[in-house]
Structures are given as C-alpha cells and as structure tokens.
C-alpha cells in the first residue's frame, strides 16, 4: 500500500487547514489548554500543523506575538452582556462573563490576566463597562478611571482564584488555621478561622458586591 508523500516544506500537511493567523492561534490555545504555556511555541504549533516553523512567521512575529494573540482570542470569546439598564445586573453580568471565559481556559488565562489587549476587538469588556458607567451618568474621565479600577479588581480576583485553586480540604484548612493562630499577629489571629478558608465563588460574589457599592457611592447625586 502506497503512502502519501510528506508535506512540502512550509506547506500544511494533506487535509490540514489553510495556514492563517486564526488557525495558528486556535492550535496554540488548544496546546496551552493541554500542555501549558511553557510547552507551547512556534515549533510545537508548526509540528501539529505539519509545516516548517518558519512559515508561521508570515502570520505571527514570534512567540510573544502568538501569546498576545491567544490572550486576545480569549477576550473576544467573552459572551457579550446585553445591557438591561440596571447597573447592578449589568456590572455583575459583565464580571461573570469575563470569569467564565477565563475559567474555560485556566492554563491560558494568565495570558489574559497579565497582558494588555492588543486588538480593538479585545476591548469588548472595557466597552461594556464604559457603556454601563456612561449610561449611569459618569463623565468620560471618571468612567475611564472607574473602568480601569473595576477591571483591575476583577483581574486580581480571578488571578488569585486560578493560582489558589478550588476550596481547601479540611486538613489544609486546619493546618492554615493553626499557622495563622500562632502567627503572633493579633489581627491575623483574630480571624484565623476565616482566613484559613478560601471559597472562590464567595470571594467573587463579594468582589462584585464591593465593586457595585463603590460605583454607587460615586454616582452623580449620591450622598
């Protein structure tokens, strides 16, 4: 039985998708999901596509550009929140949509949480927040400051969730509580039992409530 000839240098393998930036980014995201950021690069993507690594440079400058593109791809995948006119509902909806997109790709999410967006399409979350704030009556300057602060709080909360993982088991909680209880720091000792626990859902919900309270406290006309 004859075997098909090997792919031509720089050409996709037989049956492989046409080489485009979107295809390269999709393959890279899949590899990060499976193997992590460190294991994903130009060579690994080229190998999966069956092409010479040099051919990828027609579409992405280098690994940094590829990682930026992966981050932007996740940002553009965020489900658009349809504004309701209710500030509380809209800000919470935007936050939960952002979180869902990040948790769908936990190994790639650090790229989103540590890099600025590089395409206009990736500014969708900023646009959504700005729309809510401008509709609520904030001026352009304050809306921008507030949007950046809200995104920073959202990103920081998600980064901690991804770094910490899920709820601690009882043994870990007991160990942490004992350590905090014997820390010698009076305030830390006073809250050792609560500080020893970490509930991602509760932390995220509290962050949203705190953010909304802060926004409402600075709304035009607020006392």
Q: Is residue 30 a part of any domain in this protein?
A: yes
Mean pLDDT score across all residues of the chain: 91
What is the DSSP secondary-structure string of 42-59?
HHHHHHHHTS-HHHHTTT
Residue 105 forms part of a structural domain: yes
135 with 194, same domain: the answer is yes
Return phi, psi of residue 116, to 5°: -75, 155
Contact status, residue 180 vs residue 124, Cβ threshold 8 Å: no
Same domain, 98 and 197: yes
According to the model, what pLDDT value does residue 122 have?
Answer: 85
Is 164 a residue whose pLDDT tops 60?
Answer: yes
Q: Residue 185 falls within a domain, yes or no?
A: yes
Residue whose pair of structure tokens reads 């926004």 in the numeric block:
215
- Flag whether 209 is in a domain: yes
81 and 176 housed in the same domain: yes
Give me the pLDDT at residue 17, please: 62
Indicate if 121 and 31 belong to the same structural domain.
no
- 66 belongs to a structural domain: no
pLDDT class of 144 with cuts at 50, 70, 90:
very high
Least confident of 2-16, 27-41, 125-139, 165-179: 2-16
Say yes or no: 54 and 88 in one domain.
no
CATH no. for residue 206?
1.10.357.10
For residue 101, give its domain range.
75-217
Structure tokens at 161: 């969730």
- Measured CA to CA, the distance from residue 46 to residue 28 in angstroms comes to 10
Question: Could you tell me the CATH number of the domain that includes residue 37?
Answer: 1.10.10.60
Domains contained in the chain, number: 2
Angle formed at CA 105 by CA 88 and CA 82, multiple of 5 degrees: 30
How far is CA 215 from each of CA 59, 80, 128, 145, rounded to the nearest angstrom? 42, 21, 15, 11
Residues 6+ apart with CB under 8 A from 219: 136, 137, 138
Task: Write down the pLDDT at residue 15.
Answer: 57
**80 lies in the same domain as 133:** yes
Residues 105 and 213 in one domain: yes
User: What does pTM read for this prediction?
Assistant: 0.85
Whether residue 113 is predicted with pLDDT greater than 60 in this model: the reply is: yes
Q: Within this chain, do residues 79 and 143 fall inside the same structural domain, yes or no?
A: yes
pLDDT value, residue 118? 82
Residue 105, burial from CB neighbour count under 10 angstroms (0-12, 13-18, 19+): buried
Tell me how far apart the alpha carbons of residues 217 and 129 are, in angstroms, rounded to a whole number: 17
Burial of 81 by CB count in 10 Å (0-12 exposed, 13-18 middle, 19+ buried)?
buried
Looking at the structure, tell me whether residues 107 and 169 fall in a common domain.
yes
The answer on 174 and 107 residing in a single domain is yes
The whole-angstrom separation of Cα 188 and Cα 149 is 27
| Residue 15 CB-density burial (10 A; 0-12 exposed, 13-18 middle, 19+ buried) | exposed
Classify 167 as helix, strand or coil.
Answer: coil
- Tokens 């809250």 belong to residue: 191
The pLDDT tens digits for 37-89 are: 999 999 999 999 999 999 999 999 999 999 999 999 999 999 988 999 999 99
- Residues 45 and 139 grouped into a single domain: no
Question: Average pLDDT in the 166-183 region?
Answer: 91
């Amino acid at each position: 039985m004859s075997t098909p000839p090997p792919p031509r240098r720089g050409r996709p393998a037989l049956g492989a998708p046409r080489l485009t930036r979107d295809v390269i980014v999709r393959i890279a995201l899949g590899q990060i999901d499976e193997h992590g950021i460190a294991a994903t690069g130009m060579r690994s993507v080229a190998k999966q596509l069956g092409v010479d690594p040099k051919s990828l440079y027609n579409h992405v400058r280098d690994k940094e550009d590829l990682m930026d593109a992966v981050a932007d791809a996740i940002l553009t995948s965020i489900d658009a929140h349809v504004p309701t006119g209710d500030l509380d509902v809209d800000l919470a909806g935007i936050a939960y949509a952002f979180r869902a997109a990040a948790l769908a790709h936990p190994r790639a999410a650090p790229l989103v949480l540590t890099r600025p967006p590089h395409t206009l399409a990736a500014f969708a979350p900023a646009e959504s927040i700005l729309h809510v704030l401008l509709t609520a009556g904030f001026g352009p300057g304050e809306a921008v400051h507030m949007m950046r602060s809200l995104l920073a709080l959202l990103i920081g909360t998600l980064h901690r969730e991804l770094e910490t993982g899920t709820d601690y088991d009882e043994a870990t909680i007991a160990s942490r509580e004992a350590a905090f209880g014997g820390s010698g720091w009076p305030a830390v000792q006073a809250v050792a039992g609560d500080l020893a626990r970490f509930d991602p859902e509760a932390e995220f919900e509290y962050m949203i409530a705190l953010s909304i309270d802060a926004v409402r406290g600075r709304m035009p006309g607020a006392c």
